[in-house]
Structure formats: structure tokens, C-alpha cells
Amino acid sequence: MATYSTNEFRSGLKLLLDGDPYTIIENEFVKPGKGQAFNRVKLRNLKTGRVLEKTFKSGESVEVADVMEREMEYLYTDGEFYHFMDPSNYEQFEAPASAVGDNAKWLKEQAVCTVVLWNNVPLIVEPPNFVELKIVETDPGVRGDTSGGGGKPATLETGAVVRVPLFVPEGEIIKVDTRSGEYVGRVKS
Amino acid sequence: MKPVTETPQPAAISRAFLYQIIRDFFRQRQVLEVETPLLSVAGNTDPAIESFHTADDPPKWLRTSPEFFHKRLLAEQGFDLFEIGKVFRRGESGPRHNPEFSLLEWYRLDYTLDELMQEVAQLLHAVYAGFGQRLRTPVFWRYDDVFQQYTGLSALSAPLRTLQDACLKTGYQGEPLSRDACLDLLFSLRVQPELEKSRAVFVSHYPASQAALAQIDANDPRQALRFECFVDGMELANGYQELTDAAEQARRFAADINTRKQRGLPPVPMDRQLLSALETGLPECSGVALGLDRLLMLVTGASHIQDVLWFPWEKA
């Protein structure tokens, strides 16, 4: 059983607590001058996303969660699972819909995603920060209006709906920030 | 013309000014500045503090506090004294800890704990005034009162199990803690953040099990004549009405060494020269140690100890 000592704690480290994988967000050393030293740690549960605070006696060891991040190419979905491939060794993984969640709306074939594996099973799928997707449906463009004020909804080829400026027409490829879901700009072809 | 952009001054630049205020304060009170060794054949036996030592045989120990030298001086010379100096504690790193840090320590003959707390408050007011700031009047708590105020539990009489449950509620994860470790955890997480801001908060009469080098209160042997001072929730100073009884000091050293053994901590030689000084006779006195890096953080508004150090641990 691999463990980390509290003095190895730093943000990003993955721990196993009560059977769930956690990532350290913050680690603070707490010690009264004449007393017991503790590590006060803010953790995110990688399964539920919930954030909680735990305190460990300094010097104690905590079990390592077998969690790693890998860059993978999105292949396709069969309706139940999302299929990914590690381009470095062509190894394929099936991610359940729960791992992809709301991010499914940004996934287009060949998109390079960050896949968090726990015990070799995809736990979280993060889409690329920026994606370039085609508008398949939006109100007709308003000529001359380049102000960007107001805006209108546009449906993208993956099903995502984003607000775009009035002048952007259907069929255009646009760049979107997946973290905010916001339109960034048109992609010149 | 372009406006002149002011580069903010690093907080570390104010250290010399802070030390000037402190030296003026003690000169006016005829307390003598001393300089004592950083390396000693004896170490600090306290099981909660880890030391650095040299590779010599026998090793020399880097001091974790100058207190043993100060007490030997008090026993031999008998004058009020203070020192500004570096101390070293292995493994203590964080927003308020650096393994090498600066301490102000001073001793006053015939001072009671109350008188010394008043002097700490006066020093803090002088420092804040020097930096153009004001502290509100200090408040004084007894440990058990402030503990009850913010945890609802008595530090002196709550059953161990109740204290352990309270630790679990704050998110403690691990083997059940000892009574003192429970008190340390609950005080650090539940009491300290609640202490009043913008003023010195003194907490005195620590449980006797946390007496360290303080006398036990003759009126209530459950408590020790020890205090700590907090400003804006930050632990700043720790003081004692000093233990002068050589036999009791030897017993506490031996108990520390025993605890270190049980916990598998490296052995540390006790200070026999301090014990013989106590046998010769340490005058009645009170003494206090105050963290200067933290005080500098407070008056400059720095949020991390690294901000007041030119070369923090990682760059030293």
C-alpha cells in the first residue's frame, strides 16, 4: 500500500480516504509553538466534486489513490459509454456518462481531452479549454452589426448552445472557451 | 510625461525599523541586550519540537530558543535581559512558520505573570505606534474560560472522549488523540480564529499538562503560570513565571525524554548546565519569547512569513 506522509502534502496530490479518491486543494501547517503539529487540508472528492476539510497529525501517512491524468483522444459514443484512446499506445478506455457529465456537449471526434483514471477506469473527462465547432443553427446574421452587443443563441454541431454576436452566421466555425461556455471568436478558414 | 510607477516596498525592509523600536523600548527600561550561543551541547527535549544538530561527535544542537542560556545568565549575573536572535525548528514550514526564524526573548526579575503580560502589551503598543498604527486595549482570558467560550467544553474537566469527538467534528482524521493533542487541535482550529482582532489577546493559566517550563499555580495545581499572546488570531508570544525548582525541572526533562522514546523520536540530551544553574539558584522571574517575523507580518500586513524574509527556507 503506497502512502504519502503529511510532509509530502501539496496541492494536486491524490489521496484515498474512506474508499474515495480525493485531490488536495490546499495544505496548511498548523502548530502551536509548544504543541502538536497538524496539517489542515482542503480536499476535493473526485467522485462527487464535494470539497471538505480534514486535519491530520503531522508525520502521519495517508494512502495514495491510484489516480492519474492522461491526455486522450475522443473517439465516439455508443449511447452508453464514451470511448477514448491514448494516442501514445493506442490503449482504449470506456468512460461512463457520469464521468463525462455536462462536458459531453463539447466532445467532437479527435478532441484531445484530459482523462482522470482511478484504478484504470475513467473518473473525470475534461474537454480541451478551447474547442472549434461549427454553428448548425442560429438566426440569420445582421449585416453591418459588428458591435457584438446583445447576441443570440447558436446551436453547435455537438449540441451545445452558446451566445454569439448578431453578425455571426450559420455554418461558421467558432472558438469557444469550454470552462465558461463563452464564445471567443470566429475561426478564419 | 509618464506617471512614476511606485514599486511596493518588500515587507522585509521594515525589519531594521522594528528592531530599532524594540531596542529603544528596552533601553528606556534598562533591560540589557545580550547575545548567547546558537549551538549547544544540550538540546531541547520538548517532544513537540524537533531540532537540527551538527555532524560532530558529540553533536552540537542548534537552539530552538535561547531560554536555557538566559536562565544560566540570570542565575549567574542576575540582571534583566533581552535578546534578538535566530532559532531553529526542524520541519516547521507554512504560512506562519519557517524552520529558521527570529525570536525576541526577555526576562524580568521579580515580575509576576500579570506584570509581564502588561509589559508585552506595552511593547506591542510601542511597535504599532512606531508603524503609525493603533492596537485597541488588550484583553485577558484564562485558558479554560476562552476554551469554553468557543468550544462549549471545559479544557480542564471535559472527558477525553468528548474532546476526541469534538476533534472528529472539526474533520480530524486518524488515531484517537491524546488529551493534550485534542486541546492543541481544538484551540488552533476553534478558538484561535475566533479571538478578537486588532488587539493583543492574552490567554493565561494553561492546563498543568502544558506547563512546559512554567511554575504550577499554587492556588490551583490544575493550571500553570504560563501565557500566550495572540494578535489577529496569530500566536505571537509565549511566557512563563519561570520554574526555579531544579528537581522539578529534572523531572520534566526526564518525562520529555521518556515521551520521545515512546514515540520513537530521536533522543536529545537534556541541559545539565541549566539544572546546575537552577540548583545554584535562579531568582524569581518571568520570561517571554515573541516571534519577530510574525510581528513584522502583522505591522506590514503580510499574509505569508515568506513576505517578511529576504531568503525564505526554499531559497536559503
Confidence grade of residue B134 (pLDDT, cut at 50, 70, 90)? very high
List pLDDT tens digits, range B201-243.
999 999 999 999 999 999 999 999 999 999 999 999 999 999 9
Asked if A36 lies within 8 A of B173 by C-beta distance, the reply is no
Q: Is a pLDDT exceeding 80 seen at residue B7?
A: no
- The model carries a pTM of 0.84
List pLDDT tens digits, range B248-263.
999 999 999 999 999 9
Q: Which of B313, B315, B300, B314 is nearest to B101 (CA)?
A: B313
HSE-up of A11 (CA within 13 Å, CB side)? 4
List pLDDT tens digits, range B144-163.
999 999 999 999 999 999 99
Contacts of A79 by beta carbon, 8 Å cutoff, 6+ apart: none
**Would you tell me how many other CB atoms lie within 10 Å of the CB of residue A137?**
12
List, as one string, the DSSP characters of A97-125.
Answer: HHHHGGGGGG--TT-EEEEEEETTEEEEE
Q: How far is A49 from chain B (nearest CA, A)?
A: 17
Contacts of A159 by beta carbon, 8 Å cutoff, 6+ apart: A105
Q: What is the ipTM of this complex?
A: 0.91
How far apart are the C-alpha atoms of A128 and B45, rounded to whole Å? 55
CA angle, residues B70, B71, B77, in degrees to nearest 5 = 85
List pLDDT tens digits, range A110-129.
999 999 999 999 999 999 99
pLDDT given for residue A151 in this prediction:
86
How far apart are the C-alpha atoms of A148 and A145, rounded to whole Å? 7
pLDDT given for residue A49 in this prediction:
87
CB-closest option in A7, A32, A55 to B187: A32
Q: How far is A15 from chain B (nearest CA, A)?
A: 13
Q: Is a pLDDT exceeding 60 seen at residue B4?
A: no
Q: Which of B71, B32, B69 is nearest to B283 (CA)?
A: B71
List pLDDT tens digits, range B172-197.
999 999 999 999 999 999 999 999 99
Q: Which three cell numbers stand for residue A170?
A: 450559420
List pLDDT tens digits, range A33-82.
999 999 999 999 998 889 999 999 999 999 999 999 999 999 999 989 99
The mean pLDDT of A80-89, rounded to a whole number, is: 95
Chain A positions in Cβ-Cβ contact with residue B188 (cut-off 8 Å):
30-32, 35, 38
Q: What is the torsional sign of CA A7, A11, A14, A18? A: positive
- Which residue type, as a one-letter code, is found at position B207? P
Q: How far is B212 from chain A (nearest CA, A)?
A: 8
CB-closest option in A33, A34, A56 to B174: A56
Q: Which residue has the higher pLDDT, B180 or A150?
A: B180
Asked if B171 lies within 8 A of A55 by C-beta distance, the reply is yes
Q: Is a pLDDT exceeding 80 seen at residue B5?
A: no
Looking at A97-106, A137-146, B59-68, which range is the least confident one? Answer: A137-146
pLDDT given for residue A48 in this prediction:
87
Q: Is a pLDDT exceeding 70 seen at residue A147?
A: no
pLDDT given for residue B239 in this prediction:
98
pLDDT given for residue B124 in this prediction:
98
Chain A positions in Cβ-Cβ contact with residue B184 (cut-off 8 Å):
32, 35-36, 38
Task: Select from A4, A6, A28, A30 the residue whose CB has the most chain B CBs within 10 Å, as the one to mutate to test that interface.
Answer: A30
pLDDT given for residue A143 in this prediction:
62
List pLDDT tens digits, range B261-294.
999 999 999 999 999 999 999 999 999 999 999 9
pLDDT given for residue B10 in this prediction:
84
Confidence grade of residue A148 (pLDDT, cut at 50, 70, 90)? low
